[in-house]
Amino acid sequence: MRNVIQVVREALLTNFRELDQWFEKDQALLHFKPERDQWNIREVLEHITLTNYFLLLIINKSTRRALDRKKTGHTVVLPADYEQKFNQIDVIGSKSFGWVRPEHMEPTGLKNIQEVKALLKQQYAQCMYNLSLLKNGEGVLVFTNMSVNHLGKLDIYQYIYFLTKHIERHIRQMQRLQKEFEESAILI
């Protein structure tokens, strides 16, 4: 179980650290849209905060429930397909599946970039805090359904891992935007 928690912690650290670097990029890059209906990097970052917000509502509530269950004597037992579920979640970090996000996770583009950065820092701290509360395997005491890519029931560690893979997916999107921006600058 400790290795699972460590993997989730490292994924949080790696992906949030990577996100932080995008705030130092040139303003022209942050606002670049190759096409009208595409998001720019600022909007991608805002979308990540919106998605994290809704995922953290579930993670925070589930963490409280898991700690209550531990107090009442529930035993931590890993399902047989436990490791497999993490492999299924890994797919979220790629662009290999389609999913229509809910409207409330659409960026407005109106948020101040420093506000977005501050929100991401708070969300990272909240994820790490939840992991610290669940350091003895309590995160497997609560499962919540995840409809994305038909993942089914995820425990809290898997939910947090999903959050990191969602970030990873959008880091790749921002990298593609940066590449398009650089290529368009060469053509000018």
Spell out the domains of the chain, with CATH numbers in brackets.
1-187 (1.20.120.450)
pLDDT value of position 58: 97
Residues 6+ apart with CB under 8 A from 140: 1, 66, 76, 77, 78, 79, 82, 155, 156, 157
pLDDT value of position 99: 63
pLDDT value of position 186: 78
Length of the chain: 188
Is residue 19 within 8 A of residue 171, CB to CB? The reply is yes
How far CA 65 is from CA of 60, 131, 138, 150, 155, in Å, comes to 9, 14, 10, 24, 12
Q: Is 188 helix (H, G, I), strand (E, B) or coil?
A: coil
Q: Is the dihedral of CA 7, 121, 26, 42 positive or negative?
A: positive
Residues 6+ apart with CB under 8 A from 142: 62, 63, 65, 66, 69, 155, 156
User: What is the spatial distance between Cα 17 and Cα 9, in angstroms, rounded to a whole number?
Assistant: 12
Q: Does an H or E element contain 152, and which?
A: strand 152-155
The pTM (predicted TM-score) of the whole model is 0.93
Q: Which residues pair with 145 in a beta bridge?
A: 153
pLDDT value of position 150: 85
Per-residue pLDDT of the chain (188 residues; tens, 9 = 90+): 789 999 999 999 999 999 999 999 999 999 999 999 999 999 999 999 999 999 999 999 999 999 999 999 998 888 787 889 999 999 888 766 566 676 778 888 889 999 999 999 999 999 999 999 999 999 999 999 998 888 999 999 999 999 999 999 999 999 999 999 999 887 65
